[in-house]
Amino acid sequence: MYRIIVLAIICVACNTNGNHRQSPSADPLLPFFKQRVNPLLQNLETAAAKKILDSLLPYIKEKDNYIDMCSWLRCMAVVYQLENKLDSARWYVDRSLQLALEKDTTQRQILAGKIQTADIMGDQHSLDSAVRYGREAYFMAQKIDTPGLPLICLKLYNIYEKIGDLPMQKKYLFEGFKRSTSPKHKTVFAVNISEYYEKVNQVDSALIFFQTLMKDTSFSNPYYNAVRYENLGTLLSKKGYLKEGLAYQLKGMQISRELDELSARYYYNIAATYLKLGQYLKDEHLLDTALSLASHEKNWALQKQIWRAKAANLTLQRKPWQASAAKDSAFSYYDKEVDSSAIGRARELEAKYSLLEKDLQIKSLALSNQESERTRERQRNAIVQIICSVVVLGIYLYWVWRKKQYKMSIREDNLRQQLLGGQIKSHFLYNSVDGLLELIENGNTRSAVNFIQRLTQLLRLSLENARQPFVSLKNELHALASYLTLQQVLSGNQFDFHIEVEGLADQRAILIPPMLLQPITENAILHGFAGQQEKGQINILIQKDHKALHCVIDDNGRGFQVAGNQSQKRSLSTLINKERLEILSRQTRTHAKLKIIDKKETTGKAGVRVELIVPYQSPVIKKNGKRVESQQQF
């Protein structure tokens, strides 16, 4: 699908109306662009395409034809867009559009420039401007180029998908599908329409749509037929028509195998149908094949889904140990999916500073050699001066090196802080998914839907807080309250909670690491209140204590008299929080502390009292009065 979208971009950039040519001639160069440049761009061979385009530039300038120059500029924009150099792509398409506005009387070059501008702005997330250019191109195409409307509809759908406007997505999807005459374009729209119906939870509508497509014989090609059969079979399987759905899935798989287009997702969808049919061995074999392909594709998210499916299969086969191992593998692949970007950034940072150190060593060696050559030609006084210079330079280089090492240490602490925060979020999400599965298995559909909606809101808020290592106390407490409300829904109102903040007039002026308090409350809910007849109560008190916050989380749960496995889960999040506080102490040079008290040993009452001393930061206030979250300053 993505290759087709790229092809659509290229077709806009190099629209042609003539015959194909092997080399430039006195005629317009559009056919040459289409035959020689487009195939390279379709295969993402941007370097080769740019080489050809650069060689054509002197000829185009000499010819002085604005159509050729506009087409050349848009092709260069496509090259840089495929290389994700969006600023350069925008520069070329702006020049093309400016030239078209000055000289184009047919408005076709203006139309092509506006379509490509909208596409690039969408990639740059300038969505308001992207919509404006896209709609201008849409209205122009209605007058001068109606065959190009499906492609414009696809661009507008992509923009509104980034905005999140579902009604507008539906409008342009169905209009583009209706106007399309190309089977490949219809395939793109059909797949996106199916995804749209799943977004709005209208599987029945998606099923009716694909059943209608099966009766349409006005257009057809092997790739499109494979997509139709595979999507229709998957939808039928989801609705419970397993044998009918499997037949369509196998038919689509056969066509895709002949086209050499089989992917891990294909095998995974068919395996899900076999699992519902109770054919566990076939399901297991297909999942193994899907896992091998997903590993080759480095698709961590799909590997996590496959391992969870394998766990479900093994559970139904009454193999609990193998099922437990598969669940652990699913969780490990989730960690890999979450943390791979942080690891990549850390490696890039390490490579960058290694290169700088090598350059510094080379420069120092060259300078030392130069000084050595000069000492042979100078007298004793000059030698003394050179030695003194070398000593001063050495001290300076040592100071620079020490400063760089210190900065690297701070960056490593920040990356480690984010990594540990990611582990806590993974732990929370894993428990949340298990809770959701329990609601579904118990038949509590309404509670499950309500839970998913609240979980989505909480995840959106958590992602906003996770963009930087420090967030305001107000945002952190908002996320904590959302999480506790979510757990109340999940536990059937098993507990109440109360959050109190004393002595802090402006909670936005206090910056702390995110997700510090949530794991402690999670332990109280999952391990302290589990199996307890009395209604649980969590009281959270936050006070200012010099340059730190004194946080107390008090519950009336069962305390530490829990099973060994639950104790291990409790200690996992506790160890992570202790390590985060140790890093925070080094960063802020302020003492941080985590203390856990069994209330039965001190007061004779049931429950656990957790006390934290959390150093905080204050945001930087600019001259214009705007508050900006501070970075580490030492």
**Counting runs of H as helices and runs of E as strands, what totals does the chain give?**
24, 9
Q: Is 318 left (phi over 0), alpha (psi -120 to 50) or beta?
A: left
d(CA 476, CA 592): 18
Query: Residue 258 — very low, low, confident or very high, per pLDDT cuts 50/70/90?
Result: confident
Task: Report residue 548: phi and psi, to 5°.
Answer: -145, 165
Q: Which two tokens stand for residue 376?
A: 């042979």
Query: Residue 561 — very low, low, confident or very high, per pLDDT cuts 50/70/90?
Result: low
More confident residue, 559 or 477: 477
41-99 pLDDT, tens digit each: 767 788 888 888 899 888 888 888 888 888 889 888 888 888 888 889 889 989 999 99
Q: What pLDDT sits at residue 611?
A: 92
Tell me which residue of 468, 411, 423 sits closest to 577, measured CA to CA. Answer: 423
Superfamily (CATH) of domain 1-197: Tetratricopeptide repeat domain (1.25.40.10)
Q: Report the DSSP pairing between strands 548-555 and 536-545.
A: antiparallel
Q: What pLDDT sits at residue 17?
A: 40
CB 262 within 8 A of CB 253: yes
Query: Residue 222 — very low, low, confident or very high, per pLDDT cuts 50/70/90?
Result: confident
Q: DSSP secondary-structure letter at 629?
A: P
Residue identified by tokens 């509508």 is: 205
Q: What pLDDT sits at residue 138?
A: 83
d(CA 551, CA 563): 27
448-458 pLDDT, tens digit each: 887 788 788 77
CB 155 within 8 A of CB 121: no
Q: What pLDDT sits at residue 355?
A: 46
Q: Which two tokens stand for residue 263?
A: 């992917």
In 589-634, alpha helices (H) = 599-602
Tell me which residue of 157, 160, 187, 186 sits closest to 172, measured CA to CA. Answer: 157
* Residue 524 exposed, middle or buried by CB count within 10 Å (0-12, 13-18, 19+): buried
Angle of helix 222-238 versus helix 242-259 axis, rounded to 10: 150
155-193 pLDDT, tens digit each: 888 888 877 778 888 888 888 888 887 777 777 787 788
Give the global pTM: 0.41
CB 554 within 8 A of CB 607: yes
Give mean pLDDT, residues 424-443. Answer: 73
CB 14 within 8 A of CB 75: yes
Question: Does 422-628 match 1-197 at the fold level?
Answer: no
Q: Mean pLDDT across the chain, nearest whole number?
A: 76
d(CA 207, CA 185): 20
Is 422-628 assigned to CATH 3.40.50.10260?
Answer: no
Query: Collapsing DSSP states into helix, strand and coil, what is residue 621?
Result: strand
Query: Residue 149 — very low, low, confident or very high, per pLDDT cuts 50/70/90?
Result: confident
**501: β partners:** 542
22-32 pLDDT, tens digit each: 334 444 577 77
Q: DSSP secondary-structure letter at 617?
A: B
Query: Collapsing DSSP states into helix, strand and coil, what is residue 201?
Result: coil
* Residue 503 exposed, middle or buried by CB count within 10 Å (0-12, 13-18, 19+): exposed
Q: Which two tokens stand for residue 573?
A: 């999040």
Q: What pLDDT sits at residue 357?
A: 43
Residue identified by tokens 């193994």 is: 288
Give the least confident one: 52-66, 232-246, 272-286, 539-553. 232-246
Tell me which residue of 252, 265, 257 sits closest to 306, measured CA to CA. Answer: 265
* Residue 348 exposed, middle or buried by CB count within 10 Å (0-12, 13-18, 19+): exposed
| DSSP state string for 327-393 | HHHHHHHHHHHHHHHHHHHHHHHHHHHHHHHHHHHHHHHHHHHHHHHHHHHS-HHHHHHHHHHHHHH
Give the least confident one: 16-25, 437-446, 594-603. 16-25
501, pLDDT greater than 90: yes
d(CA 480, CA 485): 9
Q: Report the DSSP pairing between strands 536-545 and 495-502.
A: parallel
Q: What pLDDT sits at residue 453?
A: 80
CB hemisphere CA count around 476 (13 angstroms): 24
Query: Collapsing DSSP states into helix, strand and coil, what is residue 18?
Result: coil
Domains in the chain: boundaries: 1-197, 422-628
Q: What pLDDT sits at residue 353?
A: 36
